[in-house]
Amino acid sequence: MTQTTVPSGNSGNELKVAANMNDAEEQKLLEDIATRLRGRHEGVPPQVVESIVGSAYVTFGDAQIRDFVPVLVERRAASQLAGLATS
């Protein structure tokens, strides 16, 4: 397995994405995303953050190229959480 580092949102953090990852590796990255987003959105219940991450993940369920699914999930979930903060 190889890893690619890509920017993660506007935070300046980077997300390591495993190329040709298996389901367990992808699941671990999703858990890391949920943890990161819970830290950034402490006013949002953890279950809501996890639900938003899960919903974002389902959006990319049929993606044939999986390498950047975690990045796309994080960006979509972060955008939705930001929308909650402004409403």
pTM score over 0.85: no
Q: Which residue has the higher pLDDT, 86 or 63?
A: 63
In the chain, what are the domains?
A: 2-86 (1.10.8)
CA 44, 70, 76, 48: dihedral to nearest 10 degrees? -20
Nearest 5°: CA angle at 26, between 21 and 29? 125
* Distance of alpha carbon 73 from the chain centroid: 4
pLDDT at 6: 47
What length does the chain have?
87
Alpha helices in the chain (DSSP H): 23-40, 46-59, 69-86
pLDDT at 20: 66
Identify residue 51 by its one-letter amino acid code: S
Report pLDDT digits (tens) over 44-62: 999 999 999 999 999 999 9
